[in-house]
Amino acid sequence: MSVDSPGIIVERAFPAAARDALRDSQLRRNIGKATNTIRAKRKAVVAEMPDWQDLRDAGYAIKRDTLRHLDRHLLALEASVTAAGGTVHWARDGEEANRMVGDILAGHQAKEVLKIKSLTTDEIGLNGALSARGIEPIETDLAEVIVQKGHDRSSHILVPAIHRNRAEIREIFKRELPDTEHLTDEPRDLADAARRYLRQKFLTVPYAISGANFAVAETGSVAIFESEGNGRMCLTLPRVLISIMGIEKVIPRWADMSAFLQLLPRSSTAERMNPYNSVWSGTRAGEGPEEFHLVLLDNGRSDVLADEPARDTLNCIRCSACLNICPVYERTGGRAYGSTYPGPIGAILTPQMNAPPSPADSLPFASSLCGACYEVCPVKIDIPRILVHLRGKVVAARGAKTALDGEALVMAAMARVFENPRLYALAHKAAAIGQVPFIRDGAIKSLPGPLAGWTAMRDLTPIAKQSFREWWKARDR
């Protein structure tokens, strides 16, 4: 996928992309190390909270009720943002949102614009769209700087450069940033180099773009929680601030924030609290931005909302706990998922944002359904359940297109066998005989066709000569 295209267009099916990632030993090491560290930390800070399960329930309840009346809450948000001196824009899709943001900036003759790390802008490919209009987006989150300067794509929703190690980052900075001849790969040195580059930008560029962690309908307040403080620089220094949020990010009341202020940091960075929590409401004379725009983005979210079994997908607060716990993500890394949203949340969100048939149809199958993601999710999204629901949609859509689908045929045949105990007993006999040519030393070591993947590294247990039911019948007599 090209760096500038919208970040939800999946170009390769997961198994193929994963195969490449699995071969990259450096990537596997980097990601394995990082996820294992953050996993342990998250576990420890969550264990400190005796009411964690109650908090999860509260977070889930707020999200569920908000989504049920989403239209109402969004209209309330628009009213309060407008009353506070901001302007609200409604964008049906990414293209529309990109045009709106570009128009606002072009209206000010902007040549550069600061950016706070935002998945939503990545999802719609905002950076590419702005560059095409001659406006250069400047990422200000340290990891995003690494990704942007490395002409790379993010591989984690919270730690976009999780796939890079220090030595690789040093090389990128030396190539792309000024005054880096003597740069070492010490984290401090690397951070200093980025800081020098960013400081100059903060002080000279008067435009900024942010995403939003939450927006409060009642007050029109938008909130960003972050670790570095670079986001806060973008929120306070520039004259014009544009925030883009998916429509599901609204919460009804100010009081609802307290649950998420506890759930989010512990789940994501394993911190008790985010170091920087910024909340702003509209504009105010002599302080902060003079102009504030809020872009409300749909981009397929209404469709997710309408699909009841999948609706909880929109509960996601993008904490990334599910990525860090996922055994599949741990081995393949984020880019195998092919979109802005990797890991378990990506496996359910991305296919819902791509019209089938698409390589994204492979994502609901990129899971062993182990359930670890559901267990950690702070807003209780039953990801395995949604995966199965989406698998059903893929199978149904495919079934309608090609009657001669090998897998569908096998599944249908097996269902027929299982529905008839006589056929079932016959099938056992046939299989027990059919497998004979493949058995060596009591195990099946290689199989042809679609089952070859199994025997590439694993032996297969042969079908027993005497099934249990045959034994039972013989014993009964």
Partner 1 sequence: MKVSLFISCFNDMLFPQTGRAVVSVLERLGHEVAFPLEQTCCGQMHNNSGYGPEATALMRRFADVFADAETIVCPSSSCVVTVRVAYPRLAAATGDQQLIARIADLGARTFEFAEFLVKKLGIEDVGAYYPHRVTYHSTCNSLRGLGLGDAATRLLSHVRGLDFVELPRADECCGFGGTFAIKNADTSIAMLTDKLAAIRGTQAEICTAVDNSCLMHIAGGLSRERSGRRTLHLAEILASVEGGVAA
Positions that interact with partner 1 (CB under 8 A):
14-15, 18-19, 22, 28, 327-328, 331-332, 364-372, 374-375, 385, 388, 390-396, 407-408, 411-412, 414-415, 417-421, 424, 428, 431, 443, 450-451, 453-464, 466-473
- Cβ pair 460, 452 in contact under 8 A: no
108 binds, among ligand SF4, partner 1, none (CB under 5 to 8 A by kind): none
44 binds, among partner 1, ligand SF4, none (CB under 5 to 8 A by kind): none
Q: Given the complex with partner 1, which of 86 and 333 has the nearer CB atom?
A: 333
**What are the phi and psi torsion angles at 11 (to 5°)?**
-105, -20
Segment contacting ligand SF4 by CB under 6 A, of 1-9, 376-384, 394-402, 415-423? 376-384
Site membership for ligand SF4, residue 320 (CB under 6 A): yes
Q: Given the complex with partner 1, which of 292 and 374 has the nearer CB atom?
A: 374
Residue 100's alpha-carbon distances to 48, 103, 255, 280, 361, in angstroms, are 45, 5, 32, 21, 31
| Smallest distance, ligand SF4 to C-beta of residue 388, A | 16
Site membership for ligand SF4, residue 305 (CB under 6 A): no
Site membership for ligand SF4, residue 56 (CB under 6 A): no
Q: Given the complex with partner 1, which of 32 and 107 has the nearer CB atom?
A: 32
Pairing relationship of beta strands 87-91 and 250-251 according to DSSP bridges: unpaired
Q: Given the complex with partner 1, which of 133 and 428 has the nearer CB atom?
A: 428
377 binds, among partner 1, ligand SF4, none (CB under 5 to 8 A by kind): ligand SF4
Site membership for ligand SF4, residue 378 (CB under 6 A): yes
| Smallest distance, ligand SF4 to C-beta of residue 268, A | 7
Site membership for ligand SF4, residue 322 (CB under 6 A): yes
Q: How far apart are CA 144 and CA 34, in angstroms?
A: 17
Residue written as tokens 């962690």?
A: 213
Q: Given the complex with ligand SF4, which of 78 and 330 has the nearer CB atom?
A: 330
Q: Given the complex with partner 1, which of 133 and 385 has the nearer CB atom?
A: 385
192 binds, among ligand SF4, partner 1, none (CB under 5 to 8 A by kind): none
Interacting residues with ligand SF4 between 259 and 288 (CB under 6 A)? 267
- Out of 142, 319, 366, 372, which residue is the one contacting ligand SF4 (CB under 6 A)? 319
Q: List all residues 6 or more positions away from 16 whose beta carbon is below 8 Å from its beta carbon.
A: none
Residue 418's alpha-carbon distances to 215, 414, 474, in angstroms, are 52, 6, 22
Strand-pair partners of 139:
115
| Smallest distance, partner 1 to C-beta of residue 408, A | 8
Site membership for ligand SF4, residue 190 (CB under 6 A): no
260 binds, among partner 1, ligand SF4, none (CB under 5 to 8 A by kind): none
Computed from CA positions of residues 59, 61, 67, 73, in that sequence, does the dihedral angle turn out positive or negative? negative
- Out of 377, 394, 427, 444, which residue is the one contacting ligand SF4 (CB under 6 A)? 377
**Token duo for residue 416:** 């027929």
| Smallest distance, partner 1 to C-beta of residue 438, A | 13
Largest CA distance in the chain: 94
Please work out the total of residues on this chain that contact ligand SF4, with binding judged by CB under 6 A: 14
Residue 120's alpha-carbon distances to 208, 212, 252, 264, in angstroms, are 15, 9, 21, 18
Site membership for ligand SF4, residue 317 (CB under 6 A): yes
385 binds, among partner 1, ligand SF4, none (CB under 5 to 8 A by kind): partner 1
- Out of 8, 46, 208, 316, which residue is the one contacting ligand SF4 (CB under 6 A)? 316
Site membership for ligand SF4, residue 247 (CB under 6 A): no
Q: Given the complex with partner 1, which of 261 and 425 has the nearer CB atom?
A: 425
| Smallest distance, ligand SF4 to C-beta of residue 256, A | 15
Site membership for ligand SF4, residue 67 (CB under 6 A): no
Q: Given the complex with ligand SF4, which of 210 and 315 has the nearer CB atom?
A: 315
**What are the phi and psi torsion angles at 2 (to 5°)?**
-75, 155
Q: How far apart are CA 137 and CA 127, in angstroms?
A: 6
Site membership for ligand SF4, residue 31 (CB under 6 A): no
Q: Which residues bind ligand SF4 (CB under 6 A)?
A: 267, 316-322, 345, 376-379, 381
